[in-house]
Structure 1
Amino acid sequence: MHAALKAENITVRFGGVVAVNNVSLHLPEGGVLGLIGPNGAGKTTLFNAITGFVPVAEGKVHYYQTDVTHLPPYKRTALGMGRTFQTERPFEGLTVLENVLVAAFLRSANRREAEDIALAALEKVGLADRAYQPASDLNLARLRRLELAKALATQPKVLFLDEIMAGLNPPALHDMIVFLRSLTDSGISILMVEHIMEAIIELSDHVLVLASGNLIAEGKPRDVVADPRVIDAYLGTD
C-alpha cells in the first residue's frame, strides 16, 4: 500500500532541549495512525513538526512522493495536508458558515464556489442547520465539528487530528468515532493525537507511543495498550 505520509528520523530541538528524538512513522493511504503518550511526551511537537508549525532539526517529511520538510504550513495545506488544533479558536464574530468559508477560499477564490465547498463540509459534519448562527453560540461538541469542517473545507487527503475528542461526552464521542470512520472509508488518511483509549482502539490501524520525546512502543492498538512499557509511561511503577 502506498504511503500517504512518511516521517523519517524526526528530531526537534528547542535550544538545548530535545523535544522529539529520532522518531519515524509511516501512514498508509486510507489508514489511521494513532499517536499516544503521557502529557509532555512530545506528541503535539511531532505533530507540529510534520505539519510545518515548528522547524525540524533533523529528518525528512514526505507527503506522498513530495518532500515537504521545509515547506510552510499553508503550502502543505494546499497540497492536501489538513489539520485541526487542540484548542478551538473560531472567529467568534463570524457565522459558522463564514468560519468554514475562510478555509474554503484556499480551494477557490470565487465566493459562490467557496460557499458550496464550505456548505458541503458543514453538511458532512452535521452542522448545516447551524450555518448562519454565530460561531460563539456553539457548544464544545459542535465547536469540535466546526474545527473538522474547517479542515475538510481545505479538501485534505491526509487529516491531522489533535485531540479532537477531548472532553466529549459518551454519545458525542461515539458519533465522532463513527464520523471519522466514514472519512477513512472515503479515502482520507488520518494521523491522530489522542488520549481517549476507546477512540485509539476503535479507529487506529497502528499506534505509536511517545515518552519524553522518544518512541517507546508501536504496533496494533490492543497490543500497545497492554505493553508494560506503555503502562509504566502512563501510570508509573509504584
Structure 2
Amino acid sequence: MQTVLKADNIKVQFGGLIAVNNVSLSLERGQVLGLIGPNGAGKSTLFNAVTGFAPVSSGTVTFLGQDVTKLPPYVRTRLGMGRTFQTERPYEEMTVLENVLVAAFLKHPQRKEAERAALDALTKVGLSDRANQLSSDLNLARLRRLELAKALALQPEVLFLDEIMAGLNPPALKEMIELLRTLTATGVSIVMVEHIMEAIIQLADHVIVLASGNKIAEGAATAVISDEKVIEAYLGTD
C-alpha cells in the first residue's frame, strides 16, 4: 500500500506549554486513522499541525512523498489535503452551491469546471437537491454534509475531519458513517478527530490515543479502547 501521509516526532509548543510531545503517525491510501483522547489531549493541535494551521516546533510532516512541514495551509490544500472544522462556517447569505464553489475555485479557476466539481461534491454528500437553497436554512446534519462537500470539492487525497459526527442524532450518525465508508472505497484516505466511539469502531483502521500531548496507545480500535491506560485517561483512576 502507498503511504500518503507521515508525521515524524511532531512537537508543538506554545511558550512553556507542550501541546503535542513527539507524536508520530502514518496513513496509507484508503485507510482511516482515528485520533482520540480526552478533552485537552492535543488531538486538534496535532491535527492542525499536520494541516498547517498550527506551527510545528520540531518534527516533519511528509505528504505524498513531499516535506510540507513549513508550507502554509493553502499550499497543502492544493497538494491534496482537504479538511473540515469543528464549528461550521457557512456563508449564510449564499446558496449551498455557492458555498461549495468558493472551495472549488481553489483547484478550478474556470467557473464551469468549478461548478462541475462543486455539483459532484454535493451529489456525493446527498445535497444536490439543496444546491439553490440558502445555507442558513440547513439543519445541523446538512451543515456537516456541506462542510464535507467543501472539502471534497478540493478533490483531496486525504480528508481531515474534525469532530464531524458531534451532535448528530442516531439516524444522521449512521448516514454519515455510511457516507465516509463510500468515500474510502474510492481511495480517499481519512484522518478523523472524534469523540463518538461508535464511529471510530466502525470506520477506523488504526487508532492513536493522546493524553496531555503524549501518545499513550495505538492499534486497532477495539483493542485500544479496552486498554487500561486509555480507560484511565478518559475516566480517571477511580
Q: Same fold (TM over 0.5)?
A: yes
DSSP 3-state at the match of 1:8: strand
Instruction: Give the corresponding residue for 1:25.
Output: 25
Instruction: Give the corresponding residue for 2:99.
Output: 99
Could you tell me how far apart the structure 2 residues matched to 1:108 and 1:147 are?
18
Unpaired segments ≥5 residues, structure 2 = none
DSSP 3-state at the match of 1:113: helix
Runs of 4+ displaced beyond 3 Å: none
Instruction: Give the corresponding residue for 1:137.
Output: 137
Tell me which amino acid in the other structure corresponds to 1:50.
V
Instruction: Give the corresponding residue for 1:9.
Output: 9
DSSP 3-state at the match of 1:160: strand
Could you tell me how far apart the structure 1 residues matched to 2:126 and 2:103 are?
17
Deviation at 1:45, TM superposition (A): 0.3
Give the percent of matched residue pairs that are identical in Structure 1 and Structure 2: 72
DSSP 3-state at the match of 2:18: strand
Tell me which amino acid in the other structure corresponds to 2:117.
I
Asked if 1:215 corresponds to 2:221, the answer is: no
Could you tell me how far apart the structure 2 residues matched to 1:116 and 1:30 are?
24
Instruction: Give the corresponding residue for 1:40.
Output: 40
Could you tell me how far apart the structure 2 residues matched to 1:108 and 1:47 are?
26
Could you tell me how far apart the structure 2 residues matched to 1:216 and 1:32 are?
19
Deviation at 1:113, TM superposition (A): 1.1
DSSP 3-state at the match of 1:59: strand
Instruction: Report the number of matched residues.
Output: 238
Instruction: Give the corresponding residue for 1:64.
Output: 64
Could you tell me how far apart the structure 2 residues matched to 1:110 and 1:19 are?
41
CA RMSD of aligned residues (A): 0.5
Tell me which amino acid in the other structure corresponds to 2:36.
I
Deviation at 1:233, TM superposition (A): 0.4
Could you tell me how far apart the structure 1 residues matched to 2:64 and 2:208 are?
20
Tell me which amino acid in the other structure corresponds to 2:206.
H
**Aligned positions of 1:170-181 closer than 5 A:** 170-181=170-181
Instruction: Give the corresponding residue for 1:228.
Output: 228
TM-score (norm 2): 0.99
Deviation at 1:109, TM superposition (A): 1.0
**Aligned positions of 1:190-201 closer than 5 A:** 190-201=190-201
Tell me which amino acid in the other structure corresponds to 1:235.
L
Instruction: Give the corresponding residue for 1:189.
Output: 189
Tell me which amino acid in the other structure corresponds to 1:216.
I
Deviation at 1:17, TM superposition (A): 0.4
TM-score (norm 1): 0.99
Deviation at 1:108, TM superposition (A): 1.1
Could you tell me how far apart the structure 2 residues matched to 1:144 and 1:71 are?
27
Deviations 1:139-170 (CA, angstroms, capped at 9, x unpaired) = 00000000000000000000000000000000
Instruction: Give the corresponding residue for 1:158.
Output: 158
Deviation at 1:133, TM superposition (A): 0.7
Could you tell me how far apart the structure 2 residues matched to 1:177 and 1:23 are?
27
Unpaired segments ≥5 residues, structure 1 = none
Instruction: Give the corresponding residue for 1:147.
Output: 147
Deviation at 1:218, TM superposition (A): 0.3
Instruction: Give the corresponding residue for 1:79.
Output: 79
**Aligned positions of 1:101-116 closer than 5 A:** 101-116=101-116
Could you tell me how far apart the structure 2 residues matched to 1:87 and 1:39 are?
16
Could you tell me how far apart the structure 2 residues matched to 1:75 and 1:118 are?
20
